Chain A
């Protein structure tokens, strides 16, 4: 096994035992990036100082920080001081931030090393990475297919072992869906559990940063580090972080009551989800079918809320203090800004924005009732595997349609995992394990347990 193929936990153990140096570990990732990224296009900007930074760590010695010496990739909508940040949008083509996002700062303070910035849908507007102003990332399992999005670059980088872990962000599925399509683990913490400070805003009322990793155990470790209250983001929760990556073991599924929403079993992925359900049942869990609101309604709610918030967030880009002027916006940003402005305008506000926010309350209430009776729910992440290149151009609502099965959880601010649970026609499928707000530890324990029972997360694309 090459060093770049290690999990975070394995690499930390190897560094601690001095089996290899930080320079060797970072070099293994850089060699892999050089070998495969010309084909996959996961990275937009590389950190050309990483080997110097690695050397410095080697010289000062392992100080026991949880991510000491671990190379990672981060989505290009996280501000990184001194390292170009574009959010895959030409408007920000020349933007070098003067400060860093809280998530990035916490990772660096924990000893991690940034390899570079990963490709995404421009402004995160999409679920394919195909709307990037710099061209699409390709799926490592089959380069004729999309990696998913919007965090497609980070997902492909993890799947192709170009890094030990990746960071993404999701508004509705943008961590979990590319994780599913690229066959890696993706975790969406509760809204407000991880700070949005310094993340290029998409829809501020649902944006949630999260990790893309090779295992659930790694996802727990990373989330523990990036989670927590942030004085610079008033929407972060003051609740203590109850994630303990050291106590994931020993989950007992006996007696757990799991919901299986009937409306979510659509598409060709559902067969593999039912196979996964059997794994839970054989461990003594009770899996009961439930009826939830038709996800078609959540598509409508999400579409309105997202476009309204986009329209407000993109209004700030004028090319005066940073970036280029508004003539650099590409099509999808115009599409969303204009429709958002329309939905918020006098005479239409009640009909669209207010209505969507009311239905949002109905969705939240429905989940509150569900989690009074059930520990969590299982479903596909996406109705099927990755779609072929070009698919995102077929519909004005492509992203919403692909994320239909994760949108309800995002609208309600829940926490959820995507874990690999099978392969269809050579492309991976993701299982959704979703729980109530702030139930991160429970969901991570269950996901870790699932990865102890199955080997799907160990499957790798042939590059």
Chain B
């Protein structure tokens, strides 16, 4: 299995430093080789577990929980850039139609 590290880094938006892609590549090769051991176990009839204590369908009333709501000031308190009471985000849409 060959993982395309540079393509993956782009997909998960993780900027790499010089030399990191080679190190990641070597680590992935050894890690995937180790996890391939699982192929030895027959699981065709085994169900997957996603919740270990077997809780399911946990719902709550669709009502506001004001005790854990933020004021606008609190919500913005950690933002690097704000504009007139809003978060300022990087532009993601091009000018061209």
CB of B28 within 8 A of CB of A342, answer yes
Contacting A at CB under 8 A, from B42-97, are 43, 46-53, 55, 58, 60, 65, 68, 70, 74-75, 77-80, 87, 89-90
A9 within 8 A of B: no
Docked CA distance A189–B88 (Å): 41
A348 closest partner in B (C-beta): B1
Docked CA distance A70–B26 (Å): 48
- B78 partner, pick from A299, A322, A352, beta carbons under 8 A: A322
Interface flags for A346-376 (1: CB within 8 Å of B; 0: not) read 0000001011111111101000000000000
CB of A396 within 8 A of CB of B27, answer yes
Docked CA distance A334–B65 (Å): 35
> A300-B35, A322-B78, A397-B31 in contact; A359/B43 too (CB < 8 A)?
yes
| Complex contacts, B46 vs chain A, CB 8 Å | 358-359, 361-362
- A342 partner, pick from B8, B34, B37, B39, beta carbons under 8 A: B8
CB of B87 within 8 A of CB of A396, answer no
> A311-B12, A337-B12, A361-B46 in contact; A331/B78 too (CB < 8 A)?
no
Taking the nearest CB of chain B, how far is it from the CB of A262, in angstroms? 19
| Complex contacts, A94 vs chain B, CB 8 Å | 78
Interface flags for A291-317 (1: CB within 8 Å of B; 0: not) read 000001101110110000001000100
> A321-B87, A335-B24 in contact; A300/B34 too (CB < 8 A)?
yes
Contacting B at CB under 8 A, from A275-304, are 296-297, 299-301, 303-304
CB of B16 within 8 A of CB of A334, answer yes
CB of A205 within 8 A of CB of B15, answer no
A190 within 8 A of B: yes
A361 closest partner in B (C-beta): B49
Taking the nearest CB of chain B, how far is it from the CB of A43, in angstroms? 22
CB of A297 within 8 A of CB of B41, answer yes
A245 within 8 A of B: no
Docked CA distance A237–B27 (Å): 37
CB of B53 within 8 A of CB of A413, answer yes
| Complex contacts, A134 vs chain B, CB 8 Å | none
- B49 partner, pick from A231, A341, A352, A357, beta carbons under 8 A: A357
CB of A231 within 8 A of CB of B14, answer no
Interface size on A, residues (CB 8 A): 58
Q: Among the listed stretches A95-103, A174-182, A447-455, which one makes contact with chain B, having 4 or more residues with CB under 8 Å of it? A: A95-103
A338 within 8 A of B: yes
Contacting B at CB under 8 A, from A253-289, are none
Interface contacts (Cβ under 8 Å), in number, total 146
CB of B78 within 8 A of CB of A323, answer yes
- A355 partner, pick from B38, B60, B75, beta carbons under 8 A: B38
Docked CA distance A94–B77 (Å): 11
- B35 partner, pick from A303, A315, A361, beta carbons under 8 A: A303
Which of B14, B28, B39, B41 gathers the greatest number of chain A CB atoms within 10 Å?
A: B14
A34 within 8 A of B: no
| Complex contacts, B52 vs chain A, CB 8 Å | 191-192, 205-206, 360, 364, 411-413, 437
| Complex contacts, A333 vs chain B, CB 8 Å | 14
Docked CA distance A192–B58 (Å): 13
Taking the nearest CB of chain A, how far is it from the CB of B17, in angstroms? 8
Taking the nearest CB of chain B, how far is it from the CB of A241, in angstroms? 14
| Complex contacts, A356 vs chain B, CB 8 Å | 35, 38
> A190-B53, A304-B35 in contact; A358/B20 too (CB < 8 A)?
no
| Complex contacts, B8 vs chain A, CB 8 Å | 338, 341-342
B28 closest partner in A (C-beta): A339
- B3 partner, pick from A95, A327, A342, beta carbons under 8 A: A342
- B55 partner, pick from A237, A299, A339, A412, beta carbons under 8 A: A237
| Complex contacts, B27 vs chain A, CB 8 Å | 335, 339, 396
> A98-B74, A231-B60 in contact; A205/B50 too (CB < 8 A)?
yes
Taking the nearest CB of chain A, how far is it from the CB of B92, in angstroms? 11
A322 closest partner in B (C-beta): B78
Docked CA distance A370–B12 (Å): 41
A326 within 8 A of B: yes
| Complex contacts, A424 vs chain B, CB 8 Å | none
A320 within 8 A of B: yes
27 contacts between A and B (CB under 8 A): A192-B55, A205-B51, A235-B51, A297-B37, A320-B79, A321-B75, A321-B87, A326-B13, A326-B14, A327-B15, A329-B14, A334-B14, A338-B3, A338-B8, A339-B3, A339-B28, A339-B32, A342-B8, A357-B50, A358-B49, A359-B38, A359-B46, A360-B49, A362-B46, A396-B28, A397-B34, A413-B53
Interface, chain A (partner B; CB < 8 A): 94-96, 98-99, 190-192, 205-206, 231-232, 234-235, 237, 296-297, 299-301, 303-304, 311, 315, 319-323, 326-327, 329, 331, 333-335, 337-339, 341-342, 352, 354-362, 364, 396-397, 411-413, 437
